[in-house]
Amino acid sequence: MSRIRKTDPEVDLCYVALYCRVSTDEQAREGVSLDEQQERLKAYCRAMGWSDHVQVFVDDGFSAKNLDRPELKRLIQAVKNGSVSRIMVTKLDRMSRRLLDLLNLIDLFQDYEVSFVSISESFDTNTPSGRLTLQVLGAVAEFERERIRERVFENMFHAANTGKWLTQSPYGYDLVDKSLVINDKEAEIVRRVYDLYLNEGLGFYSIAKGLNEEGVPSRQRKEWSIRAIKLMLTNPAYKGTLVWNRKDSSKSQRKDKDIAEWVTVEDCLPIIIEKSVWERVQNRMGQITMAPRAKSSPHLLGGLLRCGKCGSGMSIGFSGSPSKRYRVYRCSANKNKGTCTSKQYRADSVEEWFKEGLVQLMEDTSGILMIMVKDAAVKSEREQLEQKVNTAKARYKRKIEAYTSGLIELEDLNEEKERLDQILLDLEKMSRGEVETVDMEQLQQELNDKVNNIISAIDILPVEQAKGIIQTFIQYVVIHGDKDIEIKLQPI
């Protein structure tokens, strides 16, 4: 049933709405002009005698793939207010390229007794023949949109596989002839950010704050943000890997696509961050980190210390007489619930035991620690290789589809199959223990460097900074009794 139109109180008569739209790509590709659209629509109105009450709605730089356009929304609201008698466009696809969206809009217009006119296709939805033509042309418009999307994907797929960069260059690079070239000045900032996060233990906020305080400009000359730092630390381009088609932009909220749909090309971009460093940063991001409140705690093991009896965290408190108060670590379950019988420990003593434990780590002669660290490193290497296998299988599957569609040659498909076979062979050799994936001498040196770095930080730096460095190497510390502590290391 049609709804009764009520006249807008701000005007005496309902007006004719002229809707014009152009996307940036269309203007560049086809020379579509907003001025030309407006002039054609106004000329048509004059010829039909509709020029007395006309209002123009213009969406400049918006695609027709969805209805999320400001002026279209304003036009729809005007229809619902009863202010519009007729809507005109120069061509059907100015309103939408999706048949479903077009039909929904036409249903809305019909509810409010508003006719829809396209002057190029010469039809009016007030007539049955006009409505039939609309549906046919809408289907054609949607088909053409899908064909354009398919051609664009094919072109970008080819560009990605040849190492061409498809969008704006990330911070640290310049774009020269569609290829990334390292910007030395920005690349130094990128390396510094990775070092601050991985070796200094700083978080996104602290890194952004430090860069802003130093006046280091971002690419857009804006202040650094938590999001900008996180994106930098997770961008695979810095390790030489191009990843495209990762996000689904067809919805209002962009989401990651299934990994099988990603286009991933290894070793095709200039490297700013070594792969091993990039992977370690990703590993640290996946680990449970200390609570923000614990990070700012002025106590060395705050947020790191756990009770050896029940596993609960140890919180800081104070004991002694008013004139001789001293810090203590106390089991939270004991303090808050009374469910643990653990005693409290003087904080100075526990922190001294911790330092002694670090020294013992360096002086370990039994080799047990190195075996544990090696096992953790091998496990990490295996997980990374298994992830490479999954990615390579997905990439090979896409290449088969591309070959079947005639987009690539058989030679390209065979090269992809050889890469997949090599990764599978590497994984098989690792499983049989035929390859030494860990350099023990280098691992020992790295272990010593980290321990020395922590001991120096404890002696020299403020507690808050020292804790950040500690967290890059140590997950948590468990206290079992006097001078009996367990130090749980992060994977190296």
Query: Which residues are known to be catalytic?
Result: 23
Type of residue at 35: D
Dump the DSSP string for 377-439.
Answer: HHHHHHHHHHHHHHHHHHHHHHHHHHHHTTSS-HHHHHHHHHHHHHHHHHHHHHHTT-S--S-
Question: Looking at the DSSP assignment, which residues form a beta bridge with residue 346?
Answer: 328
**CB distance 53 to 17 below 8 Å:** no
Q: Describe the chain by its helix, strand, coil percentages, rounded to 5.
A: 50, 15, 35
Residue 234: closest CA among 171, 292, 316, 147: 171
Q: What residues are paired with 39 via a beta bridge?
A: none
- Separation in Å, CA 143 to CA 138, 139, 229: 9, 6, 41
3-state secondary structure string, 102-126?
HHHHHHHHHHCCCEEEECCCCEECC
3-state secondary structure 155-182: HHHHHHHCCCCCCCCCCCEEEECCEEEE
Q: How far apart are CA 130 and CA 308, in angstroms?
A: 80
Alpha carbon distance 178, 256 (integer Å): 25
- φ and ψ at residue 477, rounded to 5 degrees: -125, 130
Sign of CA pseudo-dihedral 295, 296, 299, 300: positive
**Which H or E element spans position 336?**
helix 332-336
CB atoms within 10 A of CB 229: 22
Nearest to 345 by CA among 335, 326, 330, 325: 330
Closest C-alpha to 63, from 37, 39, 27, 99: 27
